[in-house]
Structure 1
Amino acid sequence: MKICTITCHDVYNHGASLQAYALMTYLERCGHEVEIIDYKPDYLSNHYNLLSVDNPKWDKNLLTKLIYLALKMPVKIPSLIRKKAFDQFTSKYLKLTKIRYSSNEELKKNPPYANAYLCGSDQIWNSLHQNGKDPAFYLDFVPPGKLKASYAASFATDTLVDEILPFVKKKVERLDGIGVREKSGVEILKRLDIINAVSVVDPVLLLDKKDWNILGGEKFVEKYILIYDFDNSDLIRKLTLEIANECGYKIYTINPGKINYADRYFKFVGPETFISLIRDAAFVISNSYHAAVFSIIYQKKFAIVNRKESINTRMRDFLSDLKLNQRLVDEDYNLNEILKMVNYSKSVELLNEKIIFSMKYLDETLLSNVKVRNVL
């Protein structure tokens, strides 16, 4: 079967790239022909634009813009190394449509051919950002008679603002199958009287450790704590320094941002190195959903901290489902408890059940399309 997927596949984020790769790879192993729709609307196309002014205070007139760009250019030019690493990953591993689309209207006029279309995974329905308000990520463009389903689409929050509810309800109830990533997403849809949604695992969990080892890059041998911090969190800094002092570990960071207390910095690396750094870490500390997921894949000692942005249901639901709530830490953490080995025996059992369920959801959803086509 020919399947097209649509997701935020090219936003220079490790988790976003790896989940797109994972769903494509799993579907191919099931015998399908898969393409990722190369969808890059304006709001997802400004990464590493050397001439962009990201702070509205400096966007008032030509003079302030020029001053801003002059101040930021020494930072922006080196960051192109990171862009290159991600672009190489995309070119090497992701099978994209030949046409790049920039709007839902373009997709409607000339949709890529497929028997079935899947939207997901990751935060494609996060309405705190523009992608959650974009009809394309709800498969609005799919021609009549074609199967439309979501796989592990995430709202990223517990609730939606009232203004977006009619839009979400109208778009989601059109889908032939509804798989969301968090159980909180199922509850959101129930409140919209959509009762056929199910919770499925992130696509990276459809592949196993051996698969990710093949994708991973260099080997890191010394003992280190890996930090992946989107907020420059004071809590992550405090916890990291305490563990480093207690255990004698080095500190590595994969952040492109302002972390200044690490021994080694991996600011400009791509997704392969992200996998390697988690695989070889003695401890992982992060506020990233996919850092939590890969820490569990590799059965690491880890601690997850909430983000400043209201998107923490992702980590909370995931860790709760696997009985690993204690790995989500706050200011009242107990260092001795955090340093204990993680007991993965029950978590692995629960995770395997969820993976089997998720695979069955995909199989049955796609099989329903075959049955409909045979009837027609």
Structure 2
Amino acid sequence: MVKRILLVTLYDEGNIGNRLQNYALQTKLLSYGTKVTTLDNCYTTDFSLSFKLKMFIKRVLAGVGYKKYKVDCERYLSGKSIRLSNINFDTRNLYKVIKMKTDDAFNSDWTSYDLAVVGSDQVWHKWNDDLNELPYYYLQFMPKEKRTAYAASFGFDEFPKNDVQQHVKGIMEMNKISCREKSGCRLVKKSTEKNAVRVLDPTLLLSVSDWKEVESQSCDISIIDKKYSYVFLYFLGKITDEYNNYIKSIMKKNNINIIVDFFDTSKIKLKERGPAEFIKLINNAEYVFTDSFHCTVFSVLFNKEFTVFRRQQAGFENMFGRIEDLLASKDALEHIYGGTAIEPTNDFDKLYDASIAYLEDILK
């Protein structure tokens, strides 16, 4: 039986969904009596000096009445707040974290670990120019027999031409593989003839009561304490005029007048702006509007009224499949704004059972 696990995942302190999936997979692995260490590859959302200077100028212009800069400033300030809140969340909730750059992972002694698990989230999507990024996320600093993946994701349907060889080598040398999306399983099979098990994002392995325990860590939110009805907005991309008009129409139809935008620091004052507050705001909303996968996950878990939009952001055009797969599995495709061509699969329970079976298999 596996006792010590090294969990290798995206460790972006500025990303709410990333921290939630990290916590969820750690929690599920701990439930089997293991000890889990998360490896932090020191990725940071710190911005360059030039970017900070531009934001300072925008903040000044916004302050003297140039409204077109207001949204950018609010998201920047909110991002800093989220990062600090995520760090506090990790301190309270992650079992153990080792900070280490990707290069150093290849020069360290990992013999005391029985298993390494990479996942979930888009761990196999190259995000920067680090030459060791993909080898790191394919666990090539570990013996081959200890390399496993849980709910790994690519975020694309075909390998980028410059990275094909790294991907094929990485997949071929993995001991056991599971992917979060159908497209990931197909890509693994197409490129290597290996079979990948399709599993659920780890946030879906925990129960509603598990997540309410996390929610209980939230700071006070006056709008909830006063029992006001509100809609919750969580958009990682742009809220277009078309999206905005639709949101307003739903609010009018349901007689709701209050909007809570997670990234708008000017309208909702929070001591913390992290995962617990994120969950609490979803759970208590009358309606949720989002373009985020993990916001969609929690809207489903809490059985909310919600609409999910395609993300309007360069480089994210092909990442909607994970949301379609999730909603198809729950027969909830009607929540997609603009509809979809895919058909419901109604296989969530089957996927849950496969996910637990896969975890138990790799922990033997």
TM range (shorter): 0.7 to 0.9
Name the structure 2 match of 1:15. 17
Which is further off, 299-308 or 214-223? Answer: 214-223
Distance 1:306 1:206 in 2: 25
CA RMSD of aligned residues (A): 2.7
CA drift at 1:329: 1.3
Q: What TM-score do you get using the length of structure 2 for normalisation? A: 0.82
Query: TM-score normalized by structure 1?
Result: 0.80
CA distance in 1, matches of 2:77, 2:285: 30
Structure 2 counterpart of 1:361? 358
Structure with the greater relative contact order (CA < 8 A, sep ≥ 6): 1 or 2? 2
Q: Shift of the alpha carbon at 1:96? A: 3.0
Identity %: 25
What is the deviation of 1:100?
Answer: 1.6
- 1:1-376 equivalences under 5 Å are 1-40=3-42, 44-45=43-44, 47-49=45-47, 52-54=49-51, 68=54, 70-71=56-57, 75=73, 80-97=80-97, 99-103=98-102, 105-112=103-110, 113-127=112-126, 133-142=133-142, 144=143, 146-216=145-215, 217=218, 218=220, 220=224, 221-234=227-240, 235-249=242-256, 250-255=258-263, 264=268, 269-308=273-312, 309-310=316-317, 311-330=319-338, 350-367=347-364
How much has 1:366 moved relative to structure 2?
1.9
**Distance (whole Å) between structure 1 residues aligned to residue 15 and residue 271 of structure 2:** 12
The gaps in structure 1 that reach 5 residues or longer are 55-64, 334-345, 368-376
Q: CA 1:82–1:229 in 2, change beyond 3 Å: closer, same or farther?
A: same
Runs (5+) with no aligned partner, structure 2: 61-72
Give the residue type in structure 2 aligned to 1:95: Y
Aligned residues: 330
Q: CA deviation at 1:159?
A: 2.5
Q: In 1, distance between residues paired with 2:79 and 2:358? A: 40
2:125, 2:180 → 1: CA distance?
A: 12
SS of the aligned residue for 1:329 comes to coil
1:277 is displaced (CA, Å) by 0.8
Q: Do 1:254 and 1:265's aligned partners in 2 also have CA atoms closer than 8 Å?
A: no
Deviations 1:306-330 (A, max 9, x none): 1132221211222223222221112
Structure 2 CA distance for partners of 1:158 and 1:129, relative to 1, 3 Å? farther
Cα distance change on mapping 1:243 and 1:164 into 2, 3 Å: same
Indicate if the aligned counterparts of 1:115 and 1:146 stay in contact, CA closer than 8 A: no
